[in-house]
Amino acid sequence: MNDDMVSARLDLQTRLGHIFTDPRPFEDALTHASTGKDVNYERLEFLGDRVLGLAMAHLLYTTFPDEPEGGLAQRFAALVSGETLAGIAREIGVPDCIDVSAAEKSAGGTERDHILADVMEALIGAMYLDGGFAPAEALVRKLWAGRLHTLKQPPREPKTALQEWAQARGLDLPVYDIIEKTGPDHAPEFLIEVRIDGYSPVRARAGSRRLAEKEAARLCLEQVEHDR
């Protein structure tokens, strides 16, 4: 690890508001599978996803006391999305701290949304292991504070919105197909096509099938609404 990364990781702990008693979870959370090391962020990402989910659910429950369950669920989905997680990771300097192979780095791996989102969840999992739920929840409250009230109304998830658009016009439900899957197992990319009768197919590419379907739905919505 070079001096620049050591410095960046020290700065990251300051931004997280948590100095790790045991540095191993923190280091593992910033280690990509391409390095070939025995431990990487994948298990911590699994844990952090669950910690983030509980912390966010509690935060939304207390912040929007009059919001019905459906609205809370929509806000939740937007706030824990890969796009949101990647944006927060960039804001606190995570890309400069991720240990990846030379090949992955040259391919732009430390700037890919799905990697940044996974690492962000892994960091939350690492904080939970090192300090318990309280510091992890405090981190979520701090880093997401500026995003809680940016939406006047609960956001619509693109796939749900596209389905509702089609149903309102008596059309069959959108159909999603995998056109192509490329890349190594630890960093795949999916090309997804969505089709609605009477409209041109729309394709989108992302680091997971779910994200690619979501992006394809968003682009399709833009297209059909523009063609109205």
Catalytic residues: 49, 121
Distance CA 48, CA 53 (A): 8
| Two structure tokens written together for 5 | 């990364």
198: left (phi over 0), alpha (psi -120 to 50) or beta: left
**Cα separation of 218 and 31, whole Å?**
32
Rounded to an integer, what is the distance from CA 224 to the centroid of its chain?
Answer: 26
Q: E strand or H helix at 8, and its extent?
A: helix 3-16
Token couple for 48: 């952090």
Q: Please, which residues have CB within 8 angstroms of residue 167's CB and are 6 or more apart in sequence?
A: 173
**Mutual angle of helices 133-148 and 82-91, in 10-degree steps:** 100
Cβ neighbours around 210 below 10 Å, total: 15
Convert 12-37 to b/e letters by CB count within 10 Å (16 or more is b).
bbeebebebeeeebbbbbbbbbbeee
